[in-house]
Amino acid sequence: MSIQDYSVTRSSRAAQVSAVLGALVLITLIAAPWWAGRADMRLMGELFLYLALASLWNLMAGYAGLVSVGQQAFVGFGGYMLFALTMLGGLHPVAAIASAGVLGALISVPVAVLIFRLRGAYFAIGTWVIAEVFRLGFAQISALGGGSGSSLPVAIVKSLASKRAMRESLSYWLALGAAVLVVTAVYLFLRSRKGLALTAIRDNELAAGSLGIDIWRTKFTVYVVTSALTSMIGALIFLQKLRISPDAAFSVNDWTAFVIFIVVIGGIGTIEGPIIGTLVFFALRETLADLGTTYLIVLGVVAIVMMLKAPKGIWGLIRSRFDLQLFPLGYRVIAPKQEKGV
């Protein structure tokens, strides 16, 4: 047996199977307006948006090592941009959503320049301060409702589509599209050279730096891109809610605590993790939400226990047990005449 007999591949049987299954699931989901009820579609739409938020937070924290407890800054920013651009700027809602992303990218640049001066947990709290600044700032803008917020005018809502059923389908498809876009973008990014650099930084920053990887620039890029997409998701979220206020837009609980729990429970630093985490989170929510504060305490306890006992999350447990990778990222060496790689 010579070295030529060995081959290197990214894919695996499991990845191929799940790709096919994933495509089937996607087709089913696209067809949801025809088989799902209104409430179910709303729930699924919310799930997709949380999945997108979780995947983005995971990219920043799990891969770039930038743990933010302030992403609500961009969720709220995107929401307010939707309202501002449609109500005051006369833009069509879909155009406003896209623009919210661009504006999110722009504003994240000076923010990043400031808070990148902090490291580790201090960086995290710094992101929270930024979110508070945004919240207090937007509460001062009376044109957007000031401290009590505002509702999206009927005319703008109708500009999406005149019939309510059509609007709901459109909202749903936008949410599904956003989730697919984000997960695909994250996957493709991690497959690319930049993504490899990011994984290197995550594994050993010092070593990565000595190999010539520009750490600051890579992290900066990830922060800007994540914030832009988070802003877009924020715009979508508040398009669904039809009403915005500073406290709702910049809520730590809704946009950071829940997202963090999703990622921690699902599995940080993996693409599959946020997907699993979102499903588990919504399952828990549907069964426990009546308990109010107890539900949140349970979430907190579960997150702590997971972090201490299973820091790689549910997907991490599955992966270490079965050596699975559904989104082919790592390389495997296939020995000749063998099914599984080394």
HEC readout, the chain:
CCHHHCEEECCCHHHHHHHHHHHHHHHHHHCHHHHCCHHHHHHHHHHHHHHHHHHHHHHHHHHCCCCCCCCHHHHHHHHHHHHHHHHHCCCCHHHHHHHHHHHHHHHHHHHHHHHCCCCHHHHHHHHHHHHHHHHHHHHCCHHHCCCCCEECCHHHHHHHCCCHHHHHHHHHHHHHHHHHHHHHHHHHHHHCHHHHHHHHHHHCHHHHHHCCCCHHHHHHHHHHHHHHHHHHHHHHHHHHHCEECHHHHCCHHHHHHHHHHHHHHHCCCCCHHHHHHHHHHHHHHHHHHHHCHHHHHHHHHHHHHHHHHCCCHHHHHHHHHHCCCCCCCCCEEECCCCCCCC
190 binds another protein (CB under 8 A): no
Q: Which of 30, 36, 43, 118 is the binder for another protein (CB under 8 A)?
A: 118
Answer yes or no whether residue 129 interacts with another protein by CB under 8 A. yes
The structure tokens listed for 173 are 């498809």
Question: How far lies 26's CA from each of 20, 23, 37, 316, in Å?
Answer: 10, 5, 18, 24
With CB under 8 A as the contact rule, the residue among 51, 69, 156, 222 that binds another protein is 69
**x/- track of binding to another protein for residues 138-177 (CB under 8 A):** -xx-------------------------------------
CB of 157 to another protein, least distance (A): 30
Distance separating alpha carbons of residues 251 and 124, to the nearest angstrom: 16
Residues 38-67, one symbol each (x = binds another protein by CB under 8 A, - = not), give -----------------------x---x-x
**Nearer to another protein by C-beta: 73 or 85?**
73
Closest CB to another protein among 17 and 109?
A: 109
Q: With respect to another protein, which residue has the nearer C-beta, 257 or 324?
A: 257
Q: Does 334 bind another protein (CB under 8 A)?
A: no
Q: Identify which of residues 99 and 226 has a Cβ nearer to another protein in the complex.
A: 226
Count of residues interacting with another protein (CB under 8 A): 41
- Rule CB under 8 A: which of 231-270 touch another protein? 252-253, 257, 260, 264, 268
Among 121, 143, 188, 289, binds another protein (CB under 8 A): 121
Residues 277-316 interacting with another protein (rule: CB under 8 A): 293-294, 296-297, 299-301, 303-304, 307-308, 311
Residue 120 is a binding residue for another protein (CB under 8 A): yes
The values of phi and psi at residue 292, to 5°, are: 60, -120
Q: Is 137 in the site for another protein (CB under 8 A)?
A: yes
Q: Give me the least distance between CB of 310 and another protein, in Å please.
A: 12
Is residue 124 near another protein by the rule CB under 8 A? Answer: yes
Does position 216 interact with another protein (CB under 8 A)? The reply is no
CA angle 92/96/98 to nearest 5° reads 125
Q: Closest separation between CB of residue 265 and another protein, Å?
A: 11
Q: What interhelical angle do 164-191 and 215-241 show, nearest 10? A: 170
Q: State which residue, 84 or 268, has the beta carbon closest to another protein.
A: 268
Least distance (Å) from another protein to the CB of residue 315? Answer: 16
Q: Looking at the chain, how many residues does it have?
A: 342
Q: Tell me which residues touch another protein (CB under 8 A).
A: 61, 65, 67, 69, 114-115, 117-122, 124-126, 128-129, 132-133, 136-137, 139-140, 252-253, 257, 260, 264, 268, 293-294, 296-297, 299-301, 303-304, 307-308, 311
